[in-house]
Chains A and B, each alone.
Chain A
Amino acid sequence: MRYDSITEAIGNTPLVRIDPAVHGLRNIDLYAKLEMLNPFGSVKDRPAWHMARPHLEGADGEGTVVELSSGNTAKALALLAGMHGLKFKSVTNRMRVPEIKELLLLLGAEIEELPGRSECLDPTDTDDPLTHFHQALSDPDSTYLHTDQYFNPRNTEAHAAGTGPEIVKDLDGRVPDWFIACVGTAGSSTGVARVLREHDPAVRVLGLVAHKSDFIPGIRTIDEVHQVGLFDPGTYDTIESVTSGEAIDGMVTLIRRCGLLSGPTGGAAYQGAVRHLRDADAELDGTGERRTAVFIVCDRAESYLSYVRRRRPELLGQAKRGHTAASLTDAEAQAEARVITVADARRWTAEGDPRPLVVDLRSPHAYGALHIEGSVNIVDEVFDELVRGGLPFSKRTPVLLACPVGEKSLRYAALLTRRGHPDVRSLAGGIVAWRDAGAPLVRE
């Protein structure tokens, strides 16, 4: 394979059969359309390129491509805009997945996040921020190129011309009995469904939406799909909802058992598909007939680690290393730590022989604003790493630990004492007590 441009690598993604031992369906062959293998990493590469291409080819390096996207469309458009010397701006109600936000920044995108809802309602303000956004775009002086993925028919066309025909070709000219897709912009489900129905009207299309109170990246809830211009309920024979829990279950199955590095949206499609097909599969028992179903794996896992960490931390569990301050109980910390009052600490730091090393565990910014003269700043996160390995001080150096209220320092004092340091003390009441006692704090 030799290409002149990365855009030529968009499309022609593999269709991979899922091992029946994994999904448990006896009479239905289930295939995954691996859109995650597009060059920018997702199914959105197709519509992004198809929508942006006319703008980009005539743009001669002027202007900004803008889209309402918090994820994969933004990613593809940012790369495409960059290749053509244009800027890209993403406007979104919330970047809810931090890795994607950082990735977009790396790609050079500019991100505008829309404000949250009003707490004290102003009933005269019924226009959403998007309305203002559209007003700005239609300004005659605007140099924005808006790809408008939720309303642009070229979004659907990209799939009608590419994704749909590829599925039919890879099934040797046959149409699957079921096509399953998560509904975001409705572009892939609508485009693919159109092509499949043209070949065989008997195909059944299952649209998956997110459970209303839940969040799955790239999928809309049943209310949100009504705000999508490309969404037509007539496209789907069935619309069902999936939860983030199911999405992660499906994702883990695809990753650990099928070797498919899918993200949660692909996981939702897989889990929703198997759940939906189970009854149909049972009805086929004994008939000797075989059926086929295809679902879309829309992107990859790597960008969703924090999404998983938040919902299923045990999947990313790390073995504990050594004793940490957190592993001490409150009673142990109380019993084993030496504490020192502000008055005694003032004497000790002024007259001690040797004088203690004062360690301030707060953030560098707070330390910079005000601190005990002569203290060193080791922020607690770093200190935690340091003491995992052992003692970071000589046993001959007495140490005074200080944190805001004397809570964290107490734990570290107990831990270091347990490690054999003979004279570590925690400042009782912390820097707050020091300040309240009128002891000097300096700003250097």
Chain B
Amino acid sequence: MDVPLYLRPRVEPPLASLLRAQTFLHSLVDALGSPLNVLIPEVVAENAARFRAVQRRHHLAGRVYYAHKANRSSSLVRRLAAEDVAAVGIDVASLEELRHALGCGFTGDRIMATGPKDAEFLWLAARVGATVNLDSPGELEQLAGLVRGHGLARVDVLVRLSGFESAAVQGGTGTRLLARRSRFGTPVREAEALLSALERHRDVVELTGVAYHLDTTGVEEKARALEQCVLFMDECRARGLAPRALDIGGGFGVGYLADAEEWERWTTALSEAVLGVRPPLTWRGHGYGLRNEGGTVRGNAALYPAHRPTAGPGYLDELLSMPAPVLGRPSATLLLEHLHDLYIEPGRSLVDQCGLSLARVLDVRPAGEEPDRYLVRLGMNAGDMSLEEHGVLMDPVLLPRGGPADGEEEPVGVFLAGNLCLEADLITRRLVHLPRLPRAGDLLAFTNTAGYAMDFHAHRAQRQPLARTVAVEPEGDSWRWCLDEDYWPLTSPGGTTA
């Protein structure tokens, strides 16, 4: 085998010290089964503080809203509920998420309801005084009807805009920045009807802000959308409305990998494998969306940019520092000078380094004819830990049961298969390099799965056990743990010390 193509995860404290507590993690899986999710609620609060620090550095008032859909855990939501009321809120995208947020200690004034909404969701949001992030004029009509019909108090609303591409032409910059189409939000060119409706329903809704969310890593597109929203808010003011907050959504990204060179080496190797100049790196030569057309690589690699120089709070800082394309001032200055507050809704990056998913190794055997390749079957399936589903390529950390045996420290390439009786149930579709061959009984720890990967796609197919989730916190040299549903952010929580 040539140089092992490692994609080793970025692991920071306290996650790094949790990974060193191998006996503790083994005993958790022994007691609660495989797969098992482990969360460190303290980290989510630290991450929120980092985002707030960027906002403060730019002198911007506003809030960090946790996008609940990133993880269904209670401990994370309860930990955030204990944070500064003015600084941290929660963004809920379903009736159950709203009920959960309320049950975890968030009061209505700290909750923002987003996403597709049905009448029950809208009613409860209005009832508890949550802010409703309106997706369309139709939703505004429905909400206004509910408020009038049920005699509810006036509801704070944000309007979510989209389609900034066409507005950019009117901006007079002479270039057209194409954008991914979104099925959410009201296109800017149709905003006139939305404004009239907001004026018509002023007795039951109050426009407190404007929102956008773009699914792109491109900071220029976001800066442009931000500026279009500031211009739109100006128009609102001219018509006597008084929006004050701009909600720029999330999508600030996570850097999953520790080492840029490993990422570069692997992605180059993928192109070469697709071209056929080196052996496949993947199960059945899967190309992650790349294909070979007459010796030229075509298509788009469906991969998350797993190593990135700036992510999370750093990305927010970059966006806020970037000059607006028409008005020329940095985005933060634009917001500040117009006296607007900044709302952000990070999901994935707010739970960065917050948790890991554990799976027990059930079986190890040679993978077909290739002599130095192995198939490792795990006590989890692709639904339990869906990093691959999101295109995130990252090696698991091997946690041996007992100490490593002598003379077996040889790097090895393995395919990780799941516990479903399906050919397609692979935990990764690529050949994963590990520092040595795992044995039955060892654990593999998939780090940084708290955002969208941990149980996001979990299901009860074939009656395999669903992962349980525990919350842990360091205590001296050891760790204290409790079930996720039993965690409360108190100074002396219950639970068991390892």
A289 close to B (CB within 8 Å): no
Those 10 A-B pairs whose CB atoms lie nearest each other, nearest first: A116-B218, A126-B289, A366-B337, A128-B300, A362-B337, A111-B175, A119-B251, A121-B391, A116-B216, A404-B336
Give the size of the chain A interface in residues (CB under 8 angstroms): 46
B296 close to A (CB within 8 Å): yes
B331 close to A (CB within 8 Å): no
What is the minimal beta-carbon distance from B425 to any residue of chain A, in angstroms?
16
What is the minimal beta-carbon distance from A108 to any residue of chain B, in angstroms?
10
Q: Is the interface of A mostly helix, strand, loop or mixed?
A: loop
Sample 13 A-B pairs with CB under 8 A, ordered by A number.
A94-B220, A110-B175, A113-B176, A117-B217, A118-B216, A121-B302, A126-B299, A131-B300, A212-B264, A365-B337, A366-B338, A404-B59, A404-B336
Contact A222 B220 (CB under 8 A): no
Contact A212 B268 (CB under 8 A): yes
B333 close to A (CB within 8 Å): yes
Contact A119 B297 (CB under 8 A): no
Most buried by A among B234, B294, B302: B302
In the complex, per-residue mask of B228-251: 1 if CB is within 8 Å of any chain A CB, else 0: 000000100110000000000001
Contact A404 B339 (CB under 8 A): yes
Contact A407 B215 (CB under 8 A): no
Complex Cα gap A222–B328 (Å): 35
Give the size of the chain B interface in residues (CB under 8 angstroms): 54
B305 close to A (CB within 8 Å): yes
Most buried by B among A228, A363, A407: A363
Question: Would A113 and B177 be within 8 Å (CB), given that A213-B260, A363-B337, A366-B337 are in contact?
Answer: yes
Question: Would A227 and B298 be within 8 Å (CB), given that A95-B175, A115-B180 are in contact?
Answer: yes
In the complex, per-residue mask of B172-186: 1 if CB is within 8 Å of any chain A CB, else 0: 001111111000000
A residues 374-415 touching B (CB-CB < 8 Å): 404-405, 407
Complex Cα gap A229–B174 (Å): 30
Which residues of B are interface residues toward A (Cβ below 8 A)?
59, 61, 174-180, 215-221, 234, 237-238, 251, 253, 260, 264, 267-268, 271-272, 275, 288-289, 294-300, 302-305, 327-329, 333-334, 336-339, 389-391, 452
A residues 109-139 touching B (CB-CB < 8 Å): 110-121, 123, 125-129, 131
| In the complex, chain A residues whose CB is within 8 Å of the CB of B336 | 404-405, 432
What is the minimal beta-carbon distance from A303 to any residue of chain B, in angstroms?
16
Complex Cα gap A171–B189 (Å): 62
Contact B175 A123 (CB under 8 A): no
What is the minimal beta-carbon distance from A321 to any residue of chain B, in angstroms?
23
The residue that B337 contacts in the complex, of A223, A228, A404, with Cβ under 8 A, is A404
Which residues of A are interface residues toward B (Cβ below 8 A)?
94-95, 101, 105, 110-121, 123, 125-129, 131, 212-213, 222-223, 226-229, 231-232, 362-363, 365-366, 369-370, 404-405, 407, 431-432, 435, 443
What is the minimal beta-carbon distance from A407 to any residue of chain B, in angstroms?
7
Contact B218 A117 (CB under 8 A): yes
What is the minimal beta-carbon distance from A87 to any residue of chain B, in angstroms?
13
| In the complex, chain B residues whose CB is within 8 Å of the CB of A116 | 216-221
Complex Cα gap A223–B269 (Å): 9
What is the minimal beta-carbon distance from A105 to any residue of chain B, in angstroms?
5
| In the complex, chain B residues whose CB is within 8 Å of the CB of A226 | 271-272, 275, 296-297
Contact B339 A431 (CB under 8 A): yes
| In the complex, chain A residues whose CB is within 8 Å of the CB of B220 | 94, 113, 116
What is the minimal beta-carbon distance from B350 to any residue of chain A, in angstroms?
14
Contact A128 B334 (CB under 8 A): no
| In the complex, chain A residues whose CB is within 8 Å of the CB of B339 | 366, 370, 404, 431-432, 435
| In the complex, chain A residues whose CB is within 8 Å of the CB of B305 | 117
Contact B300 A123 (CB under 8 A): no
| In the complex, chain B residues whose CB is within 8 Å of the CB of A117 | 216-218, 305
Complex Cα gap A369–B272 (Å): 55
Complex Cα gap A126–B216 (Å): 15
| In the complex, chain A residues whose CB is within 8 Å of the CB of B337 | 362-363, 365-366, 404, 431
Complex Cα gap A362–B332 (Å): 12
Contact B237 A369 (CB under 8 A): yes
Complex Cα gap A370–B339 (Å): 9
Complex Cα gap A121–B221 (Å): 17
| In the complex, chain A residues whose CB is within 8 Å of the CB of B327 | 363, 365
| In the complex, chain A residues whose CB is within 8 Å of the CB of B179 | 115
The residue that A123 contacts in the complex, of B238, B275, B302, with Cβ under 8 A, is B302
| In the complex, chain B residues whose CB is within 8 Å of the CB of A366 | 334, 337-339
Contact A115 B218 (CB under 8 A): yes
Complex Cα gap A232–B277 (Å): 13
The residue that A127 contacts in the complex, of B295, B300, B389, B390, with Cβ under 8 A, is B300
Question: Would A369 and B176 be within 8 Å (CB), given that A116-B221, A118-B215, A223-B267 are in contact?
Answer: no
Question: Would A443 and B175 be within 8 Å (CB), given that A117-B216, A213-B260 are in contact?
Answer: no
Chain A residue with the shortest CB-CB distance to B244: A435
